[in-house]
Chain A
Amino acid sequence: DAGVTQSPTHLIKTRGQQVTLRCSPKSGHDTVSWYQQALGQGPQFIFQYYEEEERQRGNFPDRFSGHQFPNYSSELNVNALLLGDSALYLCASSLAMGTGVNNEQFFGPGTRLTVL
């Protein structure tokens, strides 16, 4: 049983470009959350998707957007990249958002984004 997978593993972009990161949740999971982890910092919540809709959002600008597909996989899109967007982007999946905190989040290995 594959866990949470993310692609690509590494990515280099220049300022102003756009990027799309992808996440496949753990088998049986239907909720996907995205986090940004800057160097030397803890992960920060970007947003969460359930039933193909954004359900919760952290303190991130509209340049950060996402999508969830019918097979529960998800994409994170970042437009007009800034140097400060360089970070490790983590995807986490869980089961049935809103049913309580026993829905443990399982994390993927992350995508390392470097903006030059």
Chain B
Amino acid sequence: AQSVTQLDSQVPVFEEAPVELRCNYSSSVSVYLFWYVQYPNQGLQLLLKYLSGSTLVKGINGFEAEFNKSQTSFHLRKPSVHISDTAEYFCAVRAQKLVFGTGTRLLVSP
């Protein structure tokens, strides 16, 4: 079975500051890793995914994530956030099915 841990339930940050949202996973088999964003009253939108190859993955809206197999982590980063990045972010792993973490609320203030 797979599981995902997002240790930070909420991350407050000022506009134009860098941010890192942490994600750790556990699995007995190889998995694929994803980050999704959910804006208020909307469904989920895929930010980026790691399937294989380069461990640094670039996604939409200036986000990137690094797969670290030894630390079983897939942290999401952005060098400079905008007010519009305020949303809920979900890390997910997939072997047979997609398993989500509990989410991290990113709050960007001016």
Contact = CB atoms under 8 A, between A and B. Distances in A.
A43 B96 contact: no
Nearest to B32: A101
Nearest to A94: B98
Interface residues of A, number: 23
Interface of A: 4, 33, 35, 40-45, 48, 56, 58, 90, 92, 101-102, 104-110
A106 to B, nearest CB: 8
A102 B46 CA distance: 13
28 contacts: A4-B43, A33-B98, A35-B100, A40-B102, A40-B103, A42-B100, A42-B102, A42-B103, A43-B90, A44-B100, A45-B97, A45-B99, A48-B97, A56-B97, A90-B44, A101-B94, A104-B46, A104-B49, A105-B46, A106-B46, A107-B36, A107-B43, A107-B44, A107-B45, A109-B41, A109-B43, A110-B42, A110-B43
Interface of B: 4, 32, 36, 41-46, 49, 51, 90, 92, 94, 96-103
Contacts of A107: 36, 43-45
Contacts of A106: 46
B45 A45 contact: no
